[in-house]
Amino acid sequence: MVQVNAVTASDSLQQDYDYGNFDPEPSNYETSDRENNRENYDYDVTIVGGGIVGSLAACALSGSGLKIALIEASQQSLAVARGQAYSLNLLSSQIFDQLGLWQQIRPQIETYTQVYLSDGHYPGVVHFSPQDIQAETLGYVAEHRILLTELQTQLRQCADVAWLCPAKVLQTDFQPNAASLTIEQAGGVTTVRSRLVIGADGARSPIRQQVGIKTYGWQYWQSCVVAFIKPEKSHSNIAYERFQPDGPFAILPLPDNLCRIVWTVPHGEAERLLKLDRASFLQELTQRYGSQMGKLDLVGEPYVFPVRLLHSTQYVQPRLALIGDAAHCCHPVGGQGMNLGIRDAAALAEVIRAAHRRGEDFANLKVLKRYERWRMVENVIVLAFTDLLDRLFSNQILPIVGLRRLGLWILDNIQPIKTQALRLMLGLTGRSPQLTTANLSRPAI
């Protein structure tokens, strides 16, 4: 069973007062935890979506005294095999560490100790290093299969987590004291009752749509071409973010001297690149990539995904909370999407655990609003920041070009601004979930 380091009840109470989240009169709640225990529930918490964010939420809640179900529509092997990689910031590494997973994950992923930020062919390059934030590294790059495999391995050891996979939620019915989920599994249909449902079922979240939570946002004019590359020379643990007129181009280091590229271009250009033969694709990639790592080789096949910004008008309703892409999606510039979802899962787990210890009904709207108030503002800031970066650096209007290059000079030469910008991108600003008790200036290594 996962052991989670949690703050004491008095610490949690003080934090809730500090953030304006605590109702000092528990008797005002519609139903108390004790009253709910008299109900006939199949599960206390049902998580819909067994990807990285949903699985992490299950791990974070295990050991809390609650009975948890994790529902995933895809076969476990198919979910693990998804060909994707993510930049993990320092806060995310701490969350995995406090869940007891980091020692297993760390040998299988790569660190980056430098970030080079540049604007097209402009010679000025912003160099970020660990010294800018008094840390030992800037972040990590991990393949999807590595993270999800370790989460699934951990969940197999959790006696308080029921893993329903493959299973599909056909319908949800939210009532005052429970949620009923109609589930199709192994050719049969069954209904389970749960005190709380957590929607971790992606950007097109059926759970979110079924309850009528609205979203706002837009599809960008861009898609991302992603691929694994094997360069001739060492990647030297350097991550690159190069802004081009048609979109940012990122290079992320991976183990065994592999690199992951995220090549953002207009939709039509992305489709054209995907149709190129291997030699032609590498030729165009080399023109964008540069010659600093020598000859490039393509490992596997590239694929394309569209880029969108999405934000839910609500993260919670009575008996329901949304996390990860079900609540928000952002532009991939800066590698923020997965980190936001990991932070959501840890924050919601902290709110639920603290409320349960105090004898509150953790599925009550007043309790769930604590999570929404905590995460919504921080997520909106990051969504706005990534959107601004993409629009600012994809713009060729001369005054804007001059303004952003002045901004790059300021970023590289005025240390307090540089430090604060880096802290924002590495998850070191805002309120940290109490699953992380270590000093964030000394990340897990």
User: In this predicted model, what pLDDT tens digit does every residue of 258-310 receive, in sequence order?
Assistant: 999 999 999 999 999 999 999 999 999 998 888 888 999 999 899 898 899 99
Q: What is the per-residue pLDDT for 269?
A: 95
CB 433 within 8 A of CB 346: yes
Whether 179 and 81 share a structural domain? yes
Q: Residue 97 contacts by C-beta under 8 Å, 6 or more apart in sequence?
A: 436, 438, 444
Whether 83 and 187 share a structural domain? yes
Share of the chain above pLDDT 70, in %: 87
What is the spatial distance between Cα 49 and Cα 2, in angstroms, rounded to a whole number?
A: 20
Sign of the four-CA dihedral 131, 133, 135, 139? negative
Whether 170 and 208 share a structural domain? yes
pLDDT at 439 over 80: no
Whether 303 and 319 share a structural domain? no
pLDDT at 176 over 70: yes
Q: Could you tell me where the DSSP H helices lie in 99-224?
A: 102-105, 144-156, 206-210
Confidence of residue 82 (pLDDT cuts 50, 70, 90): low
> Residue 310 belongs to what H/E stretch?
strand 296-312
Whether 391 and 297 share a structural domain? no
Whether 202 and 242 share a structural domain? no
CB 103 within 8 A of CB 204: no
Question: Per mean pLDDT, which range of 72-81, 108-117, 347-356 is the poorest?
Answer: 72-81
CB 198 within 8 A of CB 174: no
Confidence of residue 34 (pLDDT cuts 50, 70, 90): very low
What is the spatial distance between Cα 357 and Cα 24, in angstroms, rounded to a whole number?
A: 15
CB 70 within 8 A of CB 164: yes
| Pairing of the two strands 259-266 and 247-253 | antiparallel
What CATH number should be reported for the domain holding residue 258?
3.30.9.10
Chosen domain end from 260, 278, 308: 308
Q: Residue 303 contacts by C-beta under 8 Å, 6 or more apart in sequence?
A: 83, 225, 226, 227, 274
Whether 146 and 210 share a structural domain? yes
Is residue 330 one of the residues assigned to a domain?
yes
Is residue 318 one of the residues assigned to a domain?
yes
Chosen domain end from 243, 276, 308: 308
Whether 314 and 361 share a structural domain? yes
* Domain extent at residue 279: 222-308
What is the spatial distance between Cα 141 and Cα 352, in angstroms, rounded to a whole number?
A: 30
Sign of the four-CA dihedral 195, 196, 201, 203? positive
Q: What is the per-residue pLDDT for 18?
A: 38
Is residue 257 one of the residues assigned to a domain?
yes
Is residue 406 one of the residues assigned to a domain?
no
Whether 108 and 243 share a structural domain? no
Is residue 118 one of the residues assigned to a domain?
no
Whether 199 and 151 share a structural domain? yes
Tens-digit pLDDT profile for residues 215-258: 999 999 999 999 999 999 999 999 999 998 888 999 999 999 99
Q: Where are the beta strands (DSSP E) in 200-289?
A: 215-231, 238-244, 247-253, 259-266
Whether 147 and 65 share a structural domain? yes
pLDDT at 13 over 60: no
Chosen domain end from 308, 325, 353: 308
Q: What is the per-residue pLDDT for 425?
A: 81
Mean pLDDT, the chain, rounded, equals 86
Q: Pick the more confident residue, 75 or 277.
A: 277
What CATH number should be reported for the domain holding residue 40?
3.50.50.60
Tens-digit pLDDT profile for residues 335-361: 899 999 999 999 999 999 999 999 999
Q: What are phi and psi of 177, to 5 degrees?
A: -115, 5
What is the spatial distance between Cα 441 and Cα 136, in angstroms, rounded to a whole number?
A: 8
pLDDT average, residue stretch 304-327 = 96
Partners of residue 6 on adjacent β-strands: none
Q: What are phi and psi of 436, to 5 degrees?
A: -105, 110
Q: Annotate 31-87 with three-state secondary structure.
A: CEHHHHHCCCCCEEEEEECCCHHHHHHHHHHCCCCCCEEEECCCCHHHHHCCCCEEE
Is residue 297 one of the residues assigned to a domain?
yes
Whether 14 and 63 share a structural domain? yes
Angle (CA) 335 123 262, round 5°: 25
Q: What is the per-residue pLDDT for 21?
A: 44
pLDDT at 31 over 50: no
Q: Work out how many domains the chain is built from and give that number.
A: 2
pLDDT average, residue stretch 440-444 = 40
pLDDT average, residue stretch 197-226 = 95
Q: Token digits for 321? A: 């909370």
Q: What is the per-residue pLDDT for 77?
A: 67
Q: Is 287 helix (H, G, I), strand (E, B) or coil?
A: helix
Burial, 229: exposed, middle or buried (Cβ in 10 Å; 0-12, 13-18, 19+)? buried
Q: What is the per-residue pLDDT for 81?
A: 61
What is the spatial distance between Cα 110 and Cα 88, in angstroms, rounded to a whole number?
A: 10
Give the CA distances from residue 109 to residues 60, 92, 137, 196, 425, in Å, rounded to whole numbers and listed in that order: 22, 13, 13, 34, 20
Question: Per mean pLDDT, which range of 138-147, 375-384, 404-413 is the poorest?
Answer: 404-413
Is residue 123 one of the residues assigned to a domain?
no
Is residue 344 one of the residues assigned to a domain?
yes
